Chain A
Amino acid sequence: MMKQVNIQFPLRMLALLFGLFLSVGAFAQIDVKGHVKDATGEPIIGATVRVDGTQTATVTDFDGNFVLKANQDANITVTYIGYQPQTVKAAPTVEVILQDDAAVLNEVVVIGYGAVKKSDLTGSVAALKPDAKNKGLVVNPQDMLSGKVAGVNIVTNDGAPGAGAQIRVRGGSSLNASNDPLIVIDGLAMDNEGVKGLSNALSMINPQDIESFNVLKDASATAIYGSRGSNGVIIITTKKGRNGMKPTVTYSGSMTISAKKSTIDVMNGDEYRDFIKNMYGVKNADGQFLTNAEGQYVDTDGNTILPIYALGTANTDWQNEIYRTAVSHDHNVTIAGALKNLPYRASVGYTDQEGILKTTDFQRVTAALNLNPSFMDNHLTMNLNAKGMYAKTRYAEMAAISSAVFFDPTQSPYGFTSQYHKDLLGDKLDQTLRNFNGYFQWPVAADYDKDTTWPYTVNGVASMPNPLSLLYGRNEHANSRSFIGSADIDYKVHGFEDLRLHLTLGADVSEGKQYRNEQPWYPKSIYYGNWGDEKILKRNLQLSTYAQYYHDFNDQLKNHIDVMAGYEWQHFWRDEKSDYCGYYPSTSPRWIDPMSINPETNMPYGNAVNERPHTPYHFRTDSYLVSFFGRANYSLLDRYMLTFTLRNDGSSRFKEHWALFPSLALAWKINEEPFLKNVEALSDLKLRLSYGKTGQQAGAVPDYSWIATYTKNKGTDSYYPVAGDGLLYRPDNYTPELKWETTTTYNIGLDWGLFNQRLTGTVDVYYRKTTDLLNYAPTLALSAYRNQSWQNIGSLENKGIEATISWKAIQNKDFYWTIDYNFTYNHNEITDLNGVSSDGSPVPQTKDVKIGVDRYLEYQQVGHPINSFLVFQQAYDQNGKPIENAVVDRNGDGIITQADKYFYKSPAPPVTMGLASRMEYKDWDFGFSLRASIGNYVYNNIEQGMANVSPTEVWKSSLLYMNNYTHEAIGRNWQTYQITSQLSDFYVHNASFLKCDNITLGYSFSDLFKKLNGRVYGTVSNVFTITKYKGLDPEVANGFDSNMYPRPISFILGVNLSL
């Protein structure tokens, strides 16, 4: 079995550590041929073999073999991460068996602007090397992190191909500014503004190229990122070639079949026909429905009953119609090796992910090249990265999803089957059907400037359009390109090797262009259609440089210092353009033949004369971040460690550019103390304490908000021509007093390990308080040009506990079993909103959670978590059944008013857990991942939207259409639709869940056709969900379940090959 562990960092650190003591010797030499294997007999690839006291070194090859020259009596030391170093005497043939070390302790962890041995860490940093074998459906790198790291909660937006995710580290520190963590890819700090088609910075890299994730959580770790550290930092390191590595070609590919898991339980066509007949039909004394001679249902006056008359003859399962079984595939080819001193790795990847909602898909091509040569006796090392990506995403009108739930199941997808529609449309039926491209729609008389070819149009005021027409009438897709390039240059000063100089240059250039083409029959832009595009280009540049001085005093007290100081400059530049336009059809009286001659210019008009009013949009912005930072580590006796970091950030977004972010941390390796040294079982026990301040402003403060400016009018439709040409200049509100939000974090952590690290774990307890929250809050009238603006007011806090346990349950030659478990508890509470809410009344979250135009559900209030539900309390009868249209008069004043609302739960789960396990028996491996979320609540808006089944609601007489309902709503049979009952806690449900993210079974083989190694596997992804929540999926990031693209279950068959 192959061990795939990166040795890039160990090499660099080893060079750093031992380079000083190496000197050149010249004696009679012999060729040493050797083989390195582990205790189970597996060859170890890439182990470093070094002749002691010389600079002669090599690395074992793919079969664990090495050859080097050494003096006859020299000592040869073999090191490899995760194993205890082994020293043997030089001989023509040697065999080295490396023993498992308390290995992870020596693992190198990437922190900001450097790397440290895990054992020397003082901060809370979670390192994750993605488990290559136990993984589910991975399209975006976020999928590899989900459920794997304590304190990191990832909720994918939905099941759409290429979808982004909400990533929260320790609950998020902001109320209204961004809560997304900072993402650093190979030393480049990304901005978190996506471009069209790229949901976040993570989506720019192929997950297969990722070597490791390091999540920085406490201030000791994140403060080096200063103003961007408050929401945690995720550092991604991509894979590299290794010195001395033989060229290796690997291929990994997979095929995925995805399908919807379940649908909303609405009536089928026959049930619906019965329901409508029973609701509106009139019965005679015998209980028979009244009908006329033609068999139509009539009232006592002999008039046909419209709703029954309008029923179609079909049995359409709309939810079946819009979904499909999707087939996806994924291919990656990598070549890695070393050309003399030039280790390289190149990879290309292709992903084609089909969505289960018809028409949606995602295609991506990635290419990555890494070169990391070293020169001048390893004094100068370079790490050059280029990553390119091209992606194409096809989106769908998401309203198709809810429309498919609500749409009348008796109507055929195509054509009019009801007698009512045939009679209504009469001889215009064929014309109307052509205008609708053959799709059924609820028709209504049209008036398009007296265009006689459009006698009817789609009843768009309140009804849902035909879901299929929503999917096929619009083609909206994004083409996105991104390039991330970085060059790391590290120079160890000749003659003064304790000092390293480091330079990183990087660029992130991304472009996304989204096209939309809505046919004239597309119901949401019926008649005129809509065409256009939107383009976003961003160019971010970074220069960072630092000097690091590192010295081991080798004295009795084992004094050791490590000081780093650096400078960074970043420029974020962004340009956005969009223009969407409808056209007058050629049948419109307003249409002008583009070829006809304009008498004023004597030129043809051109098609622009047929454009409807539109608003071309152009926006451009930039910002700079200039920083100075430093870190000092000091350790004593290898037991007591201290880290101090400081960053001074200057941002162009604030008038007062500069702010300081310090942190301090202490660590104590308790197990190294004499009184514990003899406790054999205890292999690690370290206590960490940290304190620090970090900042945050992303997602809130616009780039130039401190400068007094005016905004001009946009588009063709906003002129006010009372003076001059009618241009408008609006004074922009500006806020020179704004500054960063500040989060102060206290952290206590304990790392422990037992039985030679067979059982390891960490526990962290933290308290984070964010002050000067960036809130978009009311201004005092007349003292600002806008009635709300960004202001630094309010505070909130997060308290939490994180724990991880990792257990290598079985470890022998044939059988290997690991179990990893993590637990997170986070309590979030708003502690001050003074100024946002002047009188202490709750402040609504108006962004995305609302019913109608302005009925909000989630509010902010002191003493409650962010986005808590503020709802009425449902009243229940003695049998525990909810009483229709009855909510509790909580303040007892006799009337139901807003004052009777109360805070009831919130969408964020206080507790999340993850469990992953992998077993390997001989050539077989089996793994699974479980993830649990406890205490998250969801408002079921689909259920709410169907609550009223009164006759006037089912058939909207003024709008002439009808909707489907769930069996549950029909059973409840409610007849009212009051705001108070819409905003009732009745629809807020406990959506705790346990999900099985994936189960994998794999078989590895080697030496197939002589040299071919590899593995085949089958995986089921999103296997099952255990929950009491009755909606389709309890995992809803914002707590508002409405119209979500369902997450599919996927079956994956894959193969990895290496040559």
Chain B
Amino acid sequence: MKKFIKNIMPIATGLALVFGATSCVKDLDVDPLDPNMSTEVSAEGLFNKCYANIAMAGNGGANGDCDIDGIDGGTSGFIRQMWNSNELPTDEAINGWGDDGIEQSCFNTYDESHPMLNGYFARLTTGITYCNQYLNIAADYDATMTAEVRFLRALDYYLLMDAFGRVPFSETLAKPVIMSRQEIYSWLEEELLTNIEPNLSAAAPKKSSDSGYGRVDKAAAWILLSRLYLNAEVYTGTAQWAKAAEYAKKVIDSAYKLNTTSVNGWSAYQMLFMGDNGESAASVEAIFPILQDGLTTTSWGTSQFLCAGNFDSDMHANPNDPNGTNGLSGQVWGGNRTRPSLIQKFFPNLDAPQVPSYEMVVAAGDDRAIFDGVGRELNNLDRATFKNGYAVAKFINYKSDGSSGHDATFMDADFFFLRAAEAYLAYAEALTRANGGKATAEAVNAINAVRARAHATQKTSYSLDDILDEWAREFYFEGRRRVDLIRFGKFGGNSDYKWQWKGGTYAGRNFDTYRNIYAIPASQLPTYDNVQNPGY
């Protein structure tokens, strides 16, 4: 036994030495080495991210990573999916790409497994979590910034409620509660009135060279309130026309104005959608511009999509640049086209000529008819034939001063998510509706202001249907049409209004009212305790 111990002791000592490395167990509590990662956060960096969620797919530019999964990064852009949700199922737009989901949107046959709508849902809810995180850790950093992040969160909740009805609600990183449309409506109203509007900076238009450009101020809160109230009947069953008018009027009376300056032959309206819209006079209308820059802020899903998605290589939007297309090089994806029902808003007899966009506005007598008809059919006979349907040449990267963009591939043009013209039409519609469907003088004036800017003829009276058409003329392809059609009862359900491929037939047919609200994405049903929206 002694020998045993004598032998075993040194061994044990040796082993103990080696196992002294057992302190290596502490190695398991690692700190990240990744230089891209940080356990610390800068309030400004997180603040920027809350905004950037609307402008860029992820943290690495157009071709870098994507904040959300399950959808192609370039396709996942906030604006692009808002556009797909609100334009493709309507009388304005159709698209010929084969990507899963496009046809279902164009034909109003979407369901709970729609990849793009699921991506939209994820983009909105992910944005909310970023805002929640900011508000949880940096609410004391700066009162104005806090109000802005609250606004961004409210905007996400608003769009989520508008598209999907009931929303998951949480102000922290936690399992959400489900709110009905009525509940989230009330929360939004309270939040905007109490926590957001009073703390935002004063309404003042800015140019990109001014600090604060790209950030929201009180005007953004007013216009979102106005939009909430204008659609209150859809959301809650109770109309709020007076409040809608009230908040629209605040914008009209603010320093934000319709841009009426034209430069170098570019119309005042066209200048809102050009490469230098943040620098030019157009910025006076930009209540909430989403920043893009060909070198420093790039995305396939913001103005890039609105421009390239509509252009093909045969189109030339600039009469001074006959070989150029849209101010970019090779960015011609050609899938989005108009449905004839949109052209009809400008050419009631559907006699739009097959001419380039700069001649189309002349033929229409309206600066807003920026359509290209060269070599194109008006009708969408075949969804997948890219020349079936006139194209929209409204979003371009040319600069009104004739200079080049920062980059040949990516857009400099900002996207005016909220712009002053909305207040005019919202004001007009609210007054008209409150007045039993007859436009008041103030309503007529508001509409005429918008039309005058576009050099369209002014009229002395407008019906509600006229106002719906005016919404299309002013805002087509800006990502809001579905909402307007629903408010006017011309989307799902029995309606006298049909457009080509509505409901999936060439002649158009009605589809059920339940399709006014999208299906809860299948993957999110557990969040909703497995209760799907009615009809799906």
Chain A positions near chain B (C-beta within 8 angstroms):
444-450, 457, 460-461, 493-496, 499, 501, 503, 543, 545, 547, 567, 569, 571, 573, 589-590, 612-613, 615, 618-624, 626, 650-652, 657, 703-704, 707-724, 726-732, 776, 778, 780-788, 835, 837-839, 841, 846, 852-855, 898, 952, 958, 977, 979
Tell me, in angstroms, the Cα distance from A590 to B403 when the chains sit together.
Answer: 12
Q: Which residues of A contact B41 (CB under 8 A)?
A: 710, 729, 731
Total interface residues on B, CB under 8 Å, equals 115
Tell me, in angstroms, the Cα distance from A451 to B67 when the chains sit together.
Answer: 37
The reply to whether B69 and A787 form a contact with Cβ atoms under 8 Å apart is: yes
The reply to whether A615 and B176 form a contact with Cβ atoms under 8 Å apart is: no
Tell me, in angstroms, the Cα distance from A781 to B525 when the chains sit together.
Answer: 10
Q: Which residues of A contact B25 (CB under 8 A)?
A: 626, 650
A/B interface sample: 12 pairs, CB < 8 A: A493-B7, A619-B36, A621-B34, A704-B37, A713-B59, A715-B60, A723-B215, A781-B121, A782-B173, A786-B67, A787-B68, A958-B313
Q: Does B250 contact A (CB under 8 A)?
A: no
Contact of A447 among B325, B385, B386 (CB under 8 A): B325
Tell me, in angstroms, the Cα distance from A547 to B16 when the chains sit together.
Answer: 12
Q: Which residues of B contact A718 (CB under 8 A)?
A: 52, 56, 58-61, 64, 296-298
The reply to whether B27 and A727 form a contact with Cβ atoms under 8 Å apart is: no
The reply to whether B297 and A719 form a contact with Cβ atoms under 8 Å apart is: yes
Query: Shortest CB–CB separation between residue A952 and chain B, in angstroms?
Result: 8
Chain B, Cβ-Cβ closest to A624: B27
Q: Which residues of B contact A841 (CB under 8 A)?
A: 113, 522
Chain B, Cβ-Cβ closest to A979: B98
Q: Does B494 contact A (CB under 8 A)?
A: no
Tell me, in angstroms, the Cα distance from A613 to B412 when the chains sit together.
Answer: 14
The reply to whether B18 and A781 form a contact with Cβ atoms under 8 Å apart is: no
Q: Does B387 contact A (CB under 8 A)?
A: yes
Once A493-B11, A624-B27 are accepted as A-B contacts, the answer to whether A720 and B49 lie under 8 Å apart by CB is yes
* Nearest 4 A/B pairs, CB to CB: A717-B61, A729-B45, A778-B523, A787-B122
The reply to whether B387 and A448 form a contact with Cβ atoms under 8 Å apart is: no
Q: Does B62 contact A (CB under 8 A)?
A: yes
Tell me, in angstroms, the Cα distance from A620 to B45 when the chains sit together.
Answer: 22
Q: Which residues of A contact B3 (CB under 8 A)?
A: 495
The reply to whether A720 and B59 form a contact with Cβ atoms under 8 Å apart is: no
Tell me, in angstroms, the Cα distance from A620 to B25 when the chains sit together.
Answer: 21
Contact of B35 among A619, A721, A788, A958 (CB under 8 A): A619
Query: Shortest CB–CB separation between residue A600 and chain B, in angstroms?
Result: 18
Interface residues of B in 113-163 (CB under 8 A from A): 113, 115, 121-122, 125-126, 128-130, 132-133, 145
Tell me, in angstroms, the Cα distance from A503 to B14 when the chains sit together.
Answer: 11
Query: Shortest CB–CB separation between residue A387 and chain B, in angstroms?
Result: 25
The reply to whether A898 and B113 form a contact with Cβ atoms under 8 Å apart is: yes
The reply to whether A569 and B11 form a contact with Cβ atoms under 8 Å apart is: no
Tell me, in angstroms, the Cα distance from A853 to B25 when the chains sit together.
Answer: 45
The reply to whether B176 and A613 form a contact with Cβ atoms under 8 Å apart is: no
Bitwise, B203-237 to A at CB < 8 A (1) or not (0) is 00000000011110000000000000000000000
The reply to whether A589 and B313 form a contact with Cβ atoms under 8 Å apart is: no
Query: Shortest CB–CB separation between residue A555 and chain B, in angstroms?
Result: 20
Query: Shortest CB–CB separation between residue A330 and chain B, in angstroms?
Result: 39
Interface residues of B in 163-214 (CB under 8 A from A): 168-170, 173-176, 212-214
The reply to whether A727 and B48 form a contact with Cβ atoms under 8 Å apart is: yes
Q: Does B500 contact A (CB under 8 A)?
A: no
Q: Which residues of B contact A620 (CB under 8 A)?
A: 33-35
The reply to whether A778 and B8 form a contact with Cβ atoms under 8 Å apart is: no
Contact of A720 among B52, B115, B125, B407 (CB under 8 A): B52
A to B contact number (C-beta, < 8 Å): 323
The reply to whether B27 and A783 form a contact with Cβ atoms under 8 Å apart is: no
Once A495-B7, A727-B42, A784-B173 are accepted as A-B contacts, the answer to whether A547 and B15 lie under 8 Å apart by CB is yes
Q: Does B465 contact A (CB under 8 A)?
A: no
The reply to whether B30 and A731 form a contact with Cβ atoms under 8 Å apart is: no
Interface residues of B in 459-477 (CB under 8 A from A): none
Most chain A Cβ neighbours within 10 Å, of B24, B170, B323: B24
The reply to whether A853 and B30 form a contact with Cβ atoms under 8 Å apart is: no
Contact of A727 among B45, B98, B408 (CB under 8 A): B45
Q: Which residues of A contact B19 (CB under 8 A)?
A: 545, 567
Contact of B295 among A615, A716, A720 (CB under 8 A): A716
Query: Shortest CB–CB separation between residue B59 and chain A, in angstroms?
Result: 4
Q: Does B379 contact A (CB under 8 A)?
A: no
The reply to whether A782 and B129 form a contact with Cβ atoms under 8 Å apart is: yes
The reply to whether B174 and A783 form a contact with Cβ atoms under 8 Å apart is: yes
Query: Shortest CB–CB separation between residue A45 and chain B, in angstroms?
Result: 38
Tell me, in angstroms, the Cα distance from A776 to B330 when the chains sit together.
Answer: 36
Interface residues of B in 75-110 (CB under 8 A from A): 75, 98-101, 103
Q: Which residues of B contact A612 (CB under 8 A)?
A: 407
Contact of A838 among B39, B295, B530 (CB under 8 A): B530
Chain B positions near chain A (C-beta within 8 angstroms):
3-4, 7-8, 11, 14-15, 18-19, 21-22, 24-25, 27-42, 44-49, 51-52, 55-56, 58-65, 67-72, 75, 98-101, 103, 112-113, 115, 121-122, 125-126, 128-130, 132-133, 145, 168-170, 173-176, 212-215, 291, 294-298, 312-314, 323-325, 329-330, 332-334, 384-387, 404, 407-408, 410, 522-527, 530
Query: Shortest CB–CB separation between residue A759 and chain B, in angstroms?
Result: 46
Once A728-B59, A732-B37, A854-B115 are accepted as A-B contacts, the answer to whether A783 and B170 lie under 8 Å apart by CB is yes
The reply to whether A730 and B49 form a contact with Cβ atoms under 8 Å apart is: yes
The reply to whether B129 and A785 form a contact with Cβ atoms under 8 Å apart is: yes
Tell me, in angstroms, the Cα distance from A613 to B294 when the chains sit together.
Answer: 9
Q: Which residues of A contact B291 (CB under 8 A)?
A: 720-722
Q: Which residues of B contact A590 (CB under 8 A)?
A: 404
The reply to whether B47 and A722 form a contact with Cβ atoms under 8 Å apart is: yes
Query: Shortest CB–CB separation between residue A628 and chain B, in angstroms?
Result: 9
Tell me, in angstroms, the Cα distance from A781 to B62 when the chains sit together.
Answer: 25
Contact of B99 among A444, A501, A704, A854 (CB under 8 A): A854
Q: Which residues of B contact A786 (CB under 8 A)?
A: 67-69, 126
The reply to whether A501 and B14 form a contact with Cβ atoms under 8 Å apart is: yes
Contact of A624 among B24, B174, B175 (CB under 8 A): B24
Tell me, in angstroms, the Cα distance from A839 to B27 when the chains sit together.
Answer: 42
Once A496-B4, A730-B49 are accepted as A-B contacts, the answer to whether A783 and B176 lie under 8 Å apart by CB is yes
Tell me, in angstroms, the Cα distance from A612 to B35 when the chains sit together.
Answer: 24
Once A715-B64, A724-B42, A782-B128 are accepted as A-B contacts, the answer to whether A622 and B33 lie under 8 Å apart by CB is yes
Contact of B298 among A457, A613, A835, A853 (CB under 8 A): A613
Contact of A782 among B36, B52, B174, B323 (CB under 8 A): B174
Q: Which residues of A contact B4 (CB under 8 A)?
A: 496
Q: Which residues of B contact A657 (CB under 8 A)?
A: 28
Chain B, Cβ-Cβ closest to A843: B523
The reply to whether B64 and A839 form a contact with Cβ atoms under 8 Å apart is: no
Chain B, Cβ-Cβ closest to A839: B522
The reply to whether A615 and B64 form a contact with Cβ atoms under 8 Å apart is: yes
The reply to whether B67 and A730 form a contact with Cβ atoms under 8 Å apart is: yes
The reply to whether A780 and B32 form a contact with Cβ atoms under 8 Å apart is: no
Chain A, Cβ-Cβ closest to B334: A958
Query: Shortest CB–CB separation between residue B121 and chain A, in angstroms?
Result: 7
Once A714-B64, A717-B62 are accepted as A-B contacts, the answer to whether A652 and B35 lie under 8 Å apart by CB is no
Tell me, in angstroms, the Cα distance from A510 to B35 when the chains sit together.
Answer: 21
The reply to whether B99 and A852 form a contact with Cβ atoms under 8 Å apart is: yes
Once A449-B329, A622-B30, A786-B68 are accepted as A-B contacts, the answer to whether A838 and B523 lie under 8 Å apart by CB is yes
Most chain A Cβ neighbours within 10 Å, of B4, B7, B30: B30
Tell me, in angstroms, the Cα distance from A569 to B8 when the chains sit together.
Answer: 24
Q: Which residues of B contact A618 (CB under 8 A)?
A: 35-36
The reply to whether A460 and B330 form a contact with Cβ atoms under 8 Å apart is: yes
Contact of B145 among A569, A703, A723 (CB under 8 A): A723
The reply to whether A652 and B125 form a contact with Cβ atoms under 8 Å apart is: no
Tell me, in angstroms, the Cα distance from A476 to B69 when the chains sit together.
Answer: 30
The reply to whether A724 and B295 form a contact with Cβ atoms under 8 Å apart is: no
The reply to whether B125 and A781 form a contact with Cβ atoms under 8 Å apart is: yes
Contact of A726 among B27, B30, B48, B174 (CB under 8 A): B48
Chain A, Cβ-Cβ closest to B10: A493
Query: Shortest CB–CB separation between residue B248 and chain A, in angstroms?
Result: 26
Query: Shortest CB–CB separation between residue B254 and chain A, in angstroms?
Result: 20
